[in-house]
Amino acid sequence: MKIFQENMVSFIVLTLFFLIGTSSSSLVSDFHALVTLKQGFEFADPVLSSWNSSSPSSVCSWVGIQCLEGRVVSVDLTDMNLYGSVSPRILSLERLIHLSLAGNNFTGTIEIANLISLHSLNISNNQFSGGLDWSYSSIANLELFDAYNNNFTAFLPLGILSLSKLKYLDLGGNYFYGEIPESYGNLLSLEYLSLAGNDLHGKIPAELGNLTNLKEIYLGYFNVFEGGIPVQFGKLVNLVHMDLSSCELDGRIPHELGNLKSLETLFLHINLLSGLIPKQLGNLTGLVNLDLSDNALTGEIPFEFINLKQLKLLNLFMNRLHGSIPEFIADLLDLETLGLWMNNFTGEIPQKLGQNGKLQMLDLSSNKLTGTIPRNLCASHQLKILILLKNFLFGPIPDGLGTCSSLTRVRLGENYLNGTIPNGFIYLASAKSS
């Protein structure tokens, strides 16, 4: 019995010793990893001067470091003006949950693996190069991955499909090439997807329409796609922001986009879209920003747009639209920006335009508008840009515009305006008739 007790005691003591021993040696290994990491960094500022001690136990008070239960769980080096390379020793920080190296100038390749607790990884705004062909199944708990604005040059990584919890994926602003894999439609947890600003081509896969948890999608800029907007995007009913600008999309705007009841921003500008503006877009009653400019759209502004009461920005310029500018445009209480230039609009400018007291920018130039200039365009006292150039407007320039001190750019030339130039205009260099 006594022997048993003695054995028991020494077993407990040994166990305790072992536990303390491993936990401190693990913090020691975190310490060594960070010291090695710092050796790879270069910096001009003394931001990492607290990473100086030779005592491993001080690690948890180093700048950018957080610990939990005696282990490093968070490394946040965001915007610290660092450059140089990131040592693979970073992978021995085995308890990491958050890692941000964002907003520095790191170069070289990087591979993150074997960090099973890692939830968020932000390496955006650096100059990392190579690809992202990592062993993603060894970081399977990742929910946020931001690699925006680096120098990655590769096909889009397929391994990323192992990240079944991934909610936020930003691979924008790199040099990814090839097509968007259809299998990206299986990243069902995604709420944010950006592949914008790469060298992608091919069709936008219809399968992305299966990502029904998406709130934001950005695919445009520098990418050059074939074909158009998949009608399946009408299934993305939780979308708040959709930006597919400037990526050579052609065909029609699918009327199914009228299903996206949560949409606040719809940016489809600078593409080759043709056909009518679908009247179903008038169902998007929460829309704040609508930009369909620089396409080849035809027809009129749909009457159903009378329901878009939240609009702040409406840009339809550089299309082939005709008909009149609907009166209800003047009743949009929050409208700040109206750009309808280079179309074939006829009829008069709604006389109540500007009465909402919010208008900041109005460009109706190069249309076939007649009638007079509305008198309350500057009721907001915030009107900065007023361009009515190249129409068939006649009558006087309203007095109110002479006292519109917010104006920075005015072009009213190539019309049939007469009368005197209001007094205030003499202070505006560009205010005269062109």
Ligand X SMILES: *[C@@H]1O[C@H](CO)[C@@H](O)[C@H](O)[C@H]1NC(C)=O
With H, G, I as helix, E, B as strand and everything else as coil, classify residue 257: helix
Which residue, 207 or 250, is less far from ligand X as judged by CB? 207
Which residue, 22 or 344, is less far from ligand X as judged by CB? 344
d(CA 410, CA 127): 42
The greatest distance separating any two alpha carbons of the chain, rounded to the nearest whole angstrom, comes to 116
In 111-207 the beta strands, taken as DSSP E runs, fall at: 120-122, 127-130, 144-146, 151-152, 168-170, 177-179, 192-194, 199-201
Segment contacting ligand X by CB under 6 A, of 27-35, 103-111, 242-250, 308-316: 103-111
When binding is defined by CB under 6 A, the residue of 172, 258, 350, 374 that contacts ligand X is: 258
CB of 108 to ligand X, least distance (A): 7
With H, G, I as helix, E, B as strand and everything else as coil, classify residue 278: coil
When binding is defined by CB under 6 A, the residue of 40, 84, 88, 103 that contacts ligand X is: 103
d(CA 243, CA 267): 5
When binding is defined by CB under 6 A, the residue of 74, 271, 280, 295 that contacts ligand X is: 280
Which residue, 70 or 396, is less far from ligand X as judged by CB? 396
Is the Cβ–Cβ distance between 188 and 165 less than 8 Å? no
Task: Tell me: does residue 198 bind ligand X (CB under 6 A).
Answer: no
Task: Tell me: does residue 15 bind ligand X (CB under 6 A).
Answer: no
Q: Judging by beta carbons within 10 Å of its beta carbon (0-12, 13-18, 19+), is residue 427 exposed, middle or buried?
A: exposed
Which residue, 5 or 418, is less far from ligand X as judged by CB? 418
With H, G, I as helix, E, B as strand and everything else as coil, classify residue 416: strand
CB of 175 to ligand X, least distance (A): 6
CB of 236 to ligand X, least distance (A): 12
CB of 402 to ligand X, least distance (A): 15
Q: What are 324's strand-pairing partners?
A: 346
Q: What is the pattern of x (binds ligand X, CB under 6 A) and - over residues 108-147?
A: --------------x-xx-x-x--------------x-x-
Task: Tell me: does residue 106 bind ligand X (CB under 6 A).
Answer: no
When binding is defined by CB under 6 A, the residue of 7, 9, 42, 320 that contacts ligand X is: 320
Kindly determine how many residues on this chain lie close enough to bind ligand X according to the rule CB under 6 A: 41
Vertex 195 angle, CA 191 and 197, to 5°: 140
